Every structure is written in structure tokens, then in C-alpha cells.
Amino acid sequence: MLTRLTHAAIAFAVTAVLYQAYVLAVAPFIEPAPPTPLVGAAAADGQASHGPEALNKHRELLAAYFPPDHWCFARPPKALESESRQVLAIFDGDRQSHNGVLTLPRVAILFFPTPRDRAAAPPRNAIVLEPSGGAVLQMEPQGQNAAGFGRLQYGQLLGDVIVHSDMNEAGSHDDLRLTTRDIYINEDLIRTDQTVELQLGGHRAFGRELELRWLKS
């Protein structure tokens, strides 16, 4: 019984973390909103950057979450930070098509439970999500003359998908790590049919299939 309760608690904690990440990163793009310039151009809040500017601006922050041989240090990435300062996406090699398909061969997303203070040290409880095969997203096309795309329609995070966080306490006893593959997202859910491996501190759990639904009020 205790083992089952422990596994249930781990599953709940991980689900809560993924749900929070989903709300921060996906929800802003599924509600009707003005076109969102995701790549290459500065958004209205001025938080988009790319090339050496992005790496220099975020180097200390990225060094807290990625090893020195990570792709973001080999070649300066593009970066997009949300107006709330709770989501930072870094990506490289992006391609856009006229019909709204956004291909990101290399992408990693950092989620911050509270708005990030840019003058403070990198918070240990940030959540890092990275798909090894990048992402392909179908965005709502805005027409040939419009800048960027509208809301997210559906997409996939490809290859091995790792979600990890040092969480709140010093040491590894509450660290989070989730590994799965090929996550599908759309306006209503995030889902994978693949094996899911969970670790929260010294506790481990294994399963297959994970689905979180976005219940609109």
C-alpha cells in the first residue's frame, strides 16, 4: 500500500509540474490572441533576441541548467522570453512555412514558477524541458503578409523528451526527472503513448502513457 501511495504521490507531483509548464508555455497560444512573432523578430514586449546577443544575455542563466558541451553554447541560439518572465525558450535552425508549420530542430524551454528576477542568481526550481529531436508545431497561419503565426493548433515534441528540475531544496532528495518520448500537444491536451520514467528524489516510478487535458472554463 505504501509503495502504491508513494508512486501515486510521485505521479501527482510530476503531473502538477507538467500541467504548470503546459499552462505557462502552451495556453497563451491556444486562446484567441493577436499574431505572435515567434522567430527572429522582436515581439511587442521586446523580449526576443538571437545570435550572440541571446547567448551573451542569457549565458549565466543557461550555464546553470545545461552542461558546457550543450548545443546552445556551440552556436549562439535564438531566444524568446515571455512577457511574464516565466518562460524562456532557446532554439536554433528554425524553419517556417507559409502554411503555419514551425520546425525547431533544436529547442529547450525553461519554466520559472514565479517571474524571474534577471538581476538575481538563476533559480534552482526552474523546470527544464528538452526534446532530443526538436519540435514541429502547426500554428494558425496569418496570411502571407502577416508577421508570425497565431495560436497553436497542434504539434509534437520529437525523440526523447526529458523534463528535470532541482526543485526547491538543496541537495538531490527532491530533484525531479521525467523521461519519455514523442509528446503530442494540441489545443486541449498534452499526451504520449510511450513509456514514462519518473524520479522524484530517491523515489522512482514507471508507467506507460501520460495525458493531461486542458479544461477550459
208 Rama class: left (phi>0) / alpha (psi -120 to 50) / beta: beta
Q: Summarize pLDDT for 156-172 with one digit per residue, the tens.
A: 999 999 988 887 666 66
Residue 24 and residue 81: Cα distance in Å, rounded?
Answer: 11
- Mean pLDDT confidence for 68-80: 87
Confidence band for 44, pLDDT divided at 50, 70 and 90? very low
Pairing of the two strands 127-131 and 135-139 = unpaired
Q: What is the chain's Cα-based Rg? A: 17
Q: Which fold has domain 2-213?
A: lipopolysaccharide transport protein A fold (2.60.450)
Q: What's phi and psi for 40, nearest 5 deg?
A: 80, -20
The b/e string for 91-113 (b: 16+ C-beta within 10 A; e otherwise) is: bbebebeeebebbbebbbbbbbb
Residue 193 confidence (pLDDT) = 92
Chain length of the chain: 217
Residue 125 confidence (pLDDT) = 84
For the beta carbon of residue 199, count every other beta carbon within 10 angstroms. Answer: 18
132: pLDDT strictly greater than 90: yes
Q: What is the pTM of this model?
A: 0.71
The b/e string for 42-79 (b: 16+ C-beta within 10 A; e otherwise) is: ebeeebbbbeeebbeebeebbeebbeeebebeeebbbb
